[in-house]
Structure 1
Amino acid sequence: MQTTKRTGPTNIVVRKTIRILRSAANKNNAPIWRYVAELIDRPRRLRVAVNISKINRYTEDGDIVVVPGKVLGAGTIDHPVTVAALGFSEQAVEKIRAAGGKVMHILQLVEENPRGSRVKIII
């Protein structure tokens, strides 16, 4: 008997995140969540890693940001933003919270904002 090799993410949390994002995109007519799911469904070596400095450069006070990957702690941030991602380094969490911002998993943001309105994707 020949078995086929599994493709796509093997991490159960990542698979669940992709499934819920696609469901939310269909249910709420929000193509942003489908696009985020496509970005997460890439091979791990191609997944996004964004530094705090990039978030600081492309956001303004009070923005909501989605990073379809991991947020790293290089650089500084000087204004409060809400950042949703698959993962965060400890330094990144400390710096975002020190600036008055909020850190969450992507699924928490989908629950709070099912339509995906006023959300920026940083890749």
Structure 2
Amino acid sequence: MELKSTNQYLRMTVRFLEVAHRRYNVGLWATVAVLLSRPRRGRVVVNVGELNRLLNDGDVAVVPGKVLGDGELSKRVTVAAWAFSKTAISKIKANGGEALSIPELVRRMPKPSGVKIIT
């Protein structure tokens, strides 16, 4: 798959996910790479209020897009995303959760189990 983005960090992240998919034989990383390869207007945008509704306490989730700070988060979750707003990071950390980059999550959990993709 050829990514036409001019954002060098995005291109490196997609390549990193493709290599992780081949190395660990995990389809989740290939799926996240495809979702990040979409045009900007087709990428996922999720508010922390929606994360609160979709996730349970202690869940790990991947957002192949941006997490915004609208809404309230009352659960302790680990969220990996392409980008976070400052408000989203503060709300996630206020409950004892973690906000990670996608490559950080891959390094921590190369063969994930129970990781949810939020689209």
TM-score category of the 2 structures, normalised to the smaller one? over 0.9
Correspondence for 2:30: 34
Distance in 1, Cα, partners of 2:106 & 2:7: 20
Aligned residues: CA RMSD: 1.2
Structure 1 length normalisation: TM-score? 0.93
Instruction: Give the paired residue count.
Output: 118
Q: Give me the identity figure in percent.
A: 47
8 Å CA contact 2:92, 2:99 repeated in 1: yes
Distance in 1, Cα, partners of 2:3 & 2:68: 27
- Structure 1 position 14 matched with structure 2 position 10: yes
- Structure 1 position 76 matched with structure 2 position 75: no
Correspondent of 1:25 among 9, 16, 21: 21
Q: SS of 2:71's equivalent?
A: coil
Larger radius of gyration: 1
Name stretches of at least 5 consecutive residues in structure 1 with no aligned partner.
Answer: 1-5
Matches within 5 A, 1:44-55: 44-55=40-51
Name stretches of at least 5 consecutive residues in structure 2 with no aligned partner.
Answer: none
The change in CA–CA distance for 1:62 and 1:7 in structure 2 (over 3 A counts) is closer
8 Å CA contact 2:43, 2:65 repeated in 1: yes
The alpha carbon displacement at 1:116 in A equals 2.4
